[in-house]
Chain A
Amino acid sequence: MTDIASLPALRISTGGPEPGVELVQLLTPEGERVFHPDYAVDFTDEQYRALYRDLVLVRRIDIEATALQRQGELGIWASLLGQEAAQVGSGRAMREKDFAFPTYREHGVAWCKGVDPMKLIGLFRGVSNGGWDPQDKRFNLYSIVIGSQTLHATGYAMGILKDGAVGTPDGEAVVAYFGDGASSQGDVNEAFVWASVYNAPVVFFCQNNQWGISTPTDHQSRIPLYQRAEGFGFPGVRVDGNDVLASYAVTRSALDAARTGQGPTLIEAFTYRMGAHTTSDDPTRYRLASDLEAWKLKDPLERLKSFLYKQQMVDGEFFDQLDSDADALAARIRRETLAMPDPSATSMFDDVYDEMTPALREQQASLARYLVGFAEAVQ
């Protein structure tokens, strides 16, 4: 196992336009472990392997879902390609009780929280709006209106405070996921205000993937996003979002600060959306292929793979097994997607209210009668 203290200190520039902006990195794109004065991980070999396994399986889910969409089995898919490390790193940094509030692209966090990928597939196929129990998974349903979930996360964190479940190492905390585009939303800025004023135990995890559909981050902000936190009165940090170790370490540190009563942190995970915004998008209309090529060299999977090799933590058998597991996962996703039934038409009325209204009961019955009558007429 690597002795972290013996690793050389290294400060990395972002590769972005801002001079002097610090980026927390623990693993270089070439797979070299680097020392950081404030952040560290002390994984066992098994934990390193498990992280890599997460990255591979999450990417496989994404690729399979994209293929299913292309074959007409899903209405749409929002790919996380390129953002696996940010999501798995932050997702694995959460404890079981910590509650995550995702956007619609957090498939990697969903994986870490134990949400069956078929639930995500079901959403994008159009059979449900998610279908997992947010309380049980400690993972809220996907939020599609950009930035809205950051307020829910903050309110939930305020509830943790009211419950007195904060202020000790056993405290609870929340992660609010959002993106660079969302950082312009009023709700996100209001969430920053609330979290700061109430000292709520929430970690704002912004995946800056450089694009809000076709709009680059410099159209959202004139300063690096993490620096916004200072104006709201809490710390901000930029982490290499393609570095799963750094993403883990920074998130864990922010969560620990939150759960022990030190309030919110903004993490800007600097990453890149390697795919389209969704399967309906065509990024060739607005970005250069050369950008993509440059980011391919920073691939989150390749650098950990390289590290595992160099440290001799893995062998051919490990990769064979992982490939086989990924194949099996993809096959299950495909099989279960093709077999996934549509919900009954009348189910749309069921949960509009906790207490169904007479008018809805009547509409539901009316639709049922119509469908029966229509079916009989067709015969």
Chain B
Amino acid sequence: MAVLTMAKALNTALRTVMESDPKVVVMGEDVGKLGGVFRVTDGLWKDFGEDRVMDTPLAESGIIGTAIGLALRGYRPVCEIQFDGFVYPAYDQIVSQLAKIHARSKGTVKMPVTIRIPFGGGIGAVEHHSESPEAYFAHTAGLKVVACSSPADAYVMLQQAVRCDDPVVFFEPKRRYWEKAEVDVAADLGLADPLWQARVVRPGVDVTLIAYGPMVRTCLDAATAAQEDGHHLEVLDLRSLSPLDLPTVLESVRRTRRAVVVHEAPSYVGLGAELAARLGEELYYEMEAPVLRVTGFDTPYPPSRLEEDYLPDLDRVLHAVDRSLGY
């Protein structure tokens, strides 16, 4: 066991996969000498060399487009998009190419490309540095989309993502990069939960809070606060946004009969909408309340002095819990 920040856990995961597979290459803007703007790739350039840790030109479509070519050649690229709001120049290469090549080729061409994206707000940044674009990617067949929420999970999930033969968009909650926790760096990956499996991170009986990425911590804090009012909230970390681990979600909500979905991304056509639809289809007669959503607003991410009002927080989660319990 080691106590690591999430950034260091991700860094250790990259080091581990690079050591075990010489075909793994890291590429992105400033990932080499600098070690990435969040230092997630710190030290890799020094130890693995510029052939395997590539400071690329500054163009996101180029990063993903050349990663596709490298994958075709047998490499296993791990691309870093520096910030969530900078992924859009690469959008075509991700959704029209990377996502579709396996199907286009009837499975003859594998695309083991991982795209790491620091995402979400709460760090007082300027425009384009605090977005949550996960729904764009979860909507696209052929991509797998995951989000880690803790250092321990970050360490395991990133290794699993890199080893996956499908393209994975890997969202990292940037405001949690510096939070520390115990990480079992000797963990046997073969015994870990599959990458596509959701997990109950705090058991409860009254309401299920469904979250991922940065909002898992927020929901855990809300559950602790609710306990003082005698409410036992279950917190479910989705981990995988596509595919969705519906059985685990259904198992939880079947017990609690109430669900609140929490994400930073806007509500409209977001993950919460999909979950509400699925829960409605599957548990129509079993639920006591409609699925409620606590999300960012349907606005552009606001200037940072307003982000506390934009982002779901403990109080807004508890407010939704009260509404759910009021049905």
Contact = CB atoms under 8 A, between A and B. Distances in A.
Contacts of B102: 351-354
Contact of A148 (B70, B92, B141, B246): B92
Contacts of A151: 61-62, 64-66, 68-69, 93
A117 interface: no
Interface in B27-73: 51, 56-57, 59, 61-62, 64-73
Contact of A191 (B62, B89, B104, B166): B62
B110 interface: yes
A135, A158, A160, A191: most-surrounded residue (chain B CB, <10 A): A158
A230 B264 CA distance: 46
B227 interface: no
A191 B65 contact: yes
A355 B67 CA distance: 21
Given A154-B65, A194-B66, A354-B165, A148 B110 contact: no
Contact of A152 (B68, B142, B196): B68
Contact of B62 (A128, A159, A194, A358): A194
Contacts of B246: 358-359
Contacts, number: 136
Contact of A135 (B51, B65, B69, B109): B109
Contacts of B62: 151, 187, 190-191, 193-194
A54 to B, nearest CB: 26
B108 A152 contact: no
B289 to A, nearest CB: 25
Contacts of B67: 155
B108 A162 contact: no
Nearest to B104: A129
Nearest to A189: B59
B75 A159 contact: yes
A143 B106 CA distance: 15
B93 A148 contact: yes
A130, A155, A160: most-surrounded residue (chain B CB, <10 A): A155
Given A141-B105, A190-B57, A155 B66 contact: yes
A159 B69 CA distance: 8
Contact of B142 (A135, A157, A350, A352): A352
Contacts of B190: none
B111 to A, nearest CB: 8
B300 interface: no
Given A352-B103, A354-B107, A140 B61 contact: no
A139 to B, nearest CB: 12
Contacts of B74: 159
A126 B1 CA distance: 55
Contacts of A187: 61-62, 65, 92-93
Contacts of A12: none
Interface string B223-249: 000000000000000000001101100
Interface in A43-101: none
B278 to A, nearest CB: 10
Nearest to B106: A351
A152 B61 CA distance: 11
Instruction: Give the size category of A's interface with B.
Output: 35 or more
Contacts of A9: none
A379 interface: no
Interface in A299-357: 350-355, 357
A154 B72 contact: no
A193 B165 CA distance: 29
A114 interface: no
A351 B65 contact: no
A219 B71 CA distance: 35
B97 interface: yes
A186 B89 contact: yes
Interface string A180-201: 0000001100110110010000
B110 to A, nearest CB: 6
B106 A186 contact: no
Interface string A125-156: 00011110111000011010100101111111
Interface in B127-172: 141-142, 144, 164-166
A130 B104 CA distance: 7
A141 B243 contact: no
A156 B65 contact: no
A162 B96 contact: no
B103 A351 contact: yes
Given A148-B93, A194-B57, A162 B104 contact: no
A163 interface: yes
A151 B62 CA distance: 6
6 contacts: A148-B96, A151-B68, A159-B75, A186-B89, A190-B61, A351-B106
Ranked 5 nearest A-B pairs via Cβ = A155-B69, A151-B65, A159-B73, A155-B66, A190-B62
Interface of B: 25, 51, 56-57, 59, 61-62, 64-75, 89, 92-93, 96-97, 101-110, 141-142, 144, 164-166, 196, 243-244, 246-247
